[in-house]
Amino acid sequence: MAGSNGGAALRVGDAFFSYGDYGPAAELYRAALQKGAPDPNLVNLRLGAALALAGARVEAETAFRAVTGPRAELARLWLLWLSSPHA
């Protein structure tokens, strides 16, 4: 994926996510993190969501726990959802 800071990978990952293709979205979010995305908290939040919806619960928890700053509260809500019986 072209782009030196992971922005392109993030945008394409968002497109996959919007179509419900959570596995490919997660791969692209990981690529965005590896390329040094400008907002790793946003990327980890989206990575966690993609993994959670793909059924990769443990990996999703890891991504959500990496979120800090203003988005940390959203990550905590996702963690609550993951711990619920219907997740």
* Residue 41 counted as domain residue: yes
Residue 86 has pLDDT above 80, yes or no: no
The per-residue pLDDT for range 8-41, each reduced to its tens digit, is 999 999 999 999 999 999 999 999 999 999 999 9
Report the predicted TM-score, pTM, of the whole model to 2 decimal places: 0.93
- d(CA 33, CA 45) in angstroms, rounded, equals 11
Distance CA(85)–CA(46), nearest Å, equals 22
Domain span including residue 38: 7-83
The CATH code of the domain that includes 65 is 1.25.40.10
Query: Total structural domains in the chain?
Result: 1
**Residue 14, CA distances (Å) to 17, 20, 86 in order:** 5, 10, 25
Residue 65 in domain: yes
Does residue 2 lie within any of the structural domains? no
Q: How many Cβ atoms from other residues are within 10 Å of residue 50's Cβ? A: 27
Phi and psi at 51, nearest 5°, equal -65, -40
